[in-house]
Amino acid sequence: MAASYAEDMEILLYALIAAFFAWRLYATLGTRHEGERQRPNPFATPDDTVQGNRAKESDPKNLLALPLNKPLPAPSMQEASAPAPDSLSGALYALQKAEPNFDEKAFLKGARVAFEMIVHAFAAQDREALKNLMSPVLFEAFTKAMDEHKQKGERVEMKLLNLREAHLSAARMDGRMAYVTVEFTSDQSRVIYSGDTVQENAGTQRLHDIWTFRRETGSPDPNWLLVETKTG
């Protein structure tokens, strides 16, 4: 009887010891320490994850983190430093927005070539070449000047000796039409003959010409047409 009682007490003691260790194990593994992230549930479905995230976003204390409540992004450096619209830089800025492929250096190179071609074509009275390089209105003015010399029996001999300088001086947008003005400084000679007699010999002159070219932005035709000429 005494032996049986002792065995029962021993079993009870072991049970208490096992319960104590089980409680300690639970206390250690079942508690998330401060700063420890919750382990992701490998069995959670995507919908569960989305719903959990939505619940966090709908929490009033998370509203300030929502995109709609964030301040608008600051303008880019290009937009913030956009030049004044009425300046040459502003006009070129507007032109480049309408025609992203516009390149000032390439345009000036083409303008120099056009200047030389038009001066030579006018001197040679090459109407077909002039027609392809300028607007119909300006072409009419050029042909009228050539016709007047012809009616008087005059022949004009012009030579472009040196194209010294070409630079952009103005630009503007009118709807889809872009207008760019270039100022040319050149050395030219001009002699007017009446028959075989020299009627006027201007010799070599340094001339300042102001030409305006036009092109419709977005057009598949890359060419610019001369629309206005003035002397400075």
Those residues whose C-beta lies under 8 Å from the C-beta of residue 121, and which sit 6 or more positions away, are 129, 130, 133
* Confidence check: pLDDT of 37 > 70: no
Report the pLDDT value the prediction gives residue 176, as an integer from 0 to 100.
Answer: 94
SS3 195: coil
Q: How confident is the model at residue 84 (pLDDT cuts 50, 70, 90)?
A: confident
Dist CA 87 CA 109 (whole Å): 22
* Confidence check: pLDDT of 24 > 90: no
Percent of residues, the chain, with pLDDT higher than 70: 64
Helix, strand, coil shares of the chain as percentages rounded to 5?
A: 45, 30, 25
> How much is the pTM?
0.63
Those residues whose C-beta lies under 8 Å from the C-beta of residue 85, and which sit 6 or more positions away, are 91, 94
* Confidence check: pLDDT of 197 > 90: no
Highest mean pLDDT, choosing among 68-72, 120-124, 152-156 = 120-124
* Confidence check: pLDDT of 17 > 80: no
From residue 192, alpha-carbon distances to 122, 150, 199, 202 in Å are: 13, 11, 6, 9
DSSP track, 133-180: TB-HHHHHHHHHHHHHHHHTTEEEEEEEEEEEEEEEEEEEEETTEEEE
Domains and CATH numbers, the chain: 2-65 (no CATH), 88-231 (3.10.450.240)
* Confidence check: pLDDT of 110 > 60: yes
Report the pLDDT value the prediction gives residue 199, as an integer from 0 to 100.
Answer: 81
Q: How confident is the model at residue 87 (pLDDT cuts 50, 70, 90)?
A: confident
Mean local confidence (pLDDT), 109-123: 94
Mapping DSSP onto H, E and C, the string for 68-134 reads HHCCCCCCCHHHHCCCCCCCHHHHHHHHHHHCCCCCHHHHHHHHHHHHHHHHHHHHCCCHHHHHCCE
